[in-house]
Amino acid sequence: MNKVIGFITEKGGVSKTMSSVNLAHILAVSGYRVLFLDMDAQMNATDMLMMGTEYECPDHLNLLCSKMEDKAELYAEYIYESNFDSIDCVPGSAALKEVIYSIHSASQSDFSVFTCMRRNIGLVKGDYDYIIIDTNPGDTTLTRCAICACDGILSPIKADNFSFSGVTGLLQTIIDLKQLYNVPIEFMGMFFADVNLNSSGYKRVKAWYEENYRDYILPVSIRHSVQVSDSTLRYLPLLIACKRHGTTDDYINLAKTLNLIDEAHDKRLEQYLAPRKAKHC
Ligand SMILES: Nc1ncnc2c1ncn2[C@@H]1O[C@H](COP(=O)(O)OP(=O)(O)OP(=O)(O)O)[C@@H](O)[C@H]1O
Ligand SMILES: [Mg+2]
């Protein structure tokens, strides 16, 4: 399978991090080997996955701009075990704020910068079933490098007027980058996140998206719940923080709707979800 999936949209605060972390964890619990790449200077995903673990913030500029010889360099300097089984992590770094400017100037003289990270993470792609990328908001050289590194892109949206331009901008950027650099990137779809399923606003906005973006809108929405912010306080993915919960189910449904979990792995996930029965003598 070996698929690189990025959670990307220009709009900030729309659940990219929550969705990428929880999807990565659901895939890991299902038995897949997952590499998580935190490309955001806020490092929220790194906190969720690595809290209390020792790591050094990696040299992202090198990852983004220098062609690596072999995967040994990635394992030695970039990839750490996370707190969760089957998830390795390339931590984010506050330095990514500056890296944005450095790769922007590097890209002025060398266009291959945009596909350099795709090439570098390609060195370890065979070692993971899924590589999940969390990105910073906005349309920067950094997000463009992340887009080019992806096989598929998912965009969470909120039920408001502002998420829309974040996705339409992204769709055009994907078209441009595919043409310019000949990279096969699939837009896997957008999904509502952090929504109240019963609110009339959500229903209205959803109907509008379904009418105008039928091919792009996924049939799963992620419910708003206080358990999500609670899970961040404990640095735990939802499947651990609240295994049986509507929002957790929504993320599982999202993974299944996208056909990310095959039958054998689905069995393993169901075993994890099954209530533990008392043993009788
Ligand atoms: N389903 C949900 N229910 C309740 N709160 C949520 C839900 N999804 C996300 N949130 C909260 O919304 C906020 C934004 O979520 P998140 O950090 O995942 O967005 P983001 O798109 O990664 O933001 P940024 O663009 O800044 O990186 C967080 O405080 C998070 O806890
Ligand atoms: Mg984020």
Residue at 266 is within a domain: no
Mutate to test the pocket of ligand 1, among 9, 11, 14, 15 (most ligand atoms within 8 A of CB): 15
Domain total of the chain: 1
Distance 198 CA to ligand 1 centre (A): 20
Tell me which ligand sits closest to the C-alpha of residue 158: 1
Residue at 239 is within a domain: yes
Confidence of residue 203 (pLDDT cuts 50, 70, 90): very high
The pLDDT, as a whole number, for residue 160 is: 85
Strands 186-192 and 130-135: unpaired
Q: What does each C-alpha distance from 153 to 34, 45, 53, 202, 216 come to in angstroms?
A: 16, 17, 29, 23, 11
Domain that holds residue 57: 3-261
CB–CB of 223/247 below 8 Å? yes
Residue at 270 is within a domain: no
Closest ligand 1 atom to the C-alpha of 44?
17
170-199 confidence digits (pLDDT tens): 999 999 999 999 999 999 999 999 999 999
For ligand 1, is residue 230 a contact (CB within 6 Å)? no
Nearest CA owner, ligand 1 atom 9: 15
The pLDDT, as a whole number, for residue 20 is: 98
Distance 93 CA to ligand 2 centre (A): 13
Distance 15 CA to ligand 2 centre (A): 7
CB–CB of 178/184 below 8 Å? yes
For 38, phi then psi, to 5°, come to: -95, 110
Residue at 273 is within a domain: no
Residue at 280 is within a domain: no
Confidence of residue 276 (pLDDT cuts 50, 70, 90): low
The pLDDT, as a whole number, for residue 104 is: 85
CATH number at residue 151: 3.40.50.300
Burial zone of 198 (CB within 10 Å; 0-12 exposed, 13-18 middle, 19+ buried): exposed
126-163 confidence digits (pLDDT tens): 999 999 999 999 999 999 999 999 999 999 999 987 87
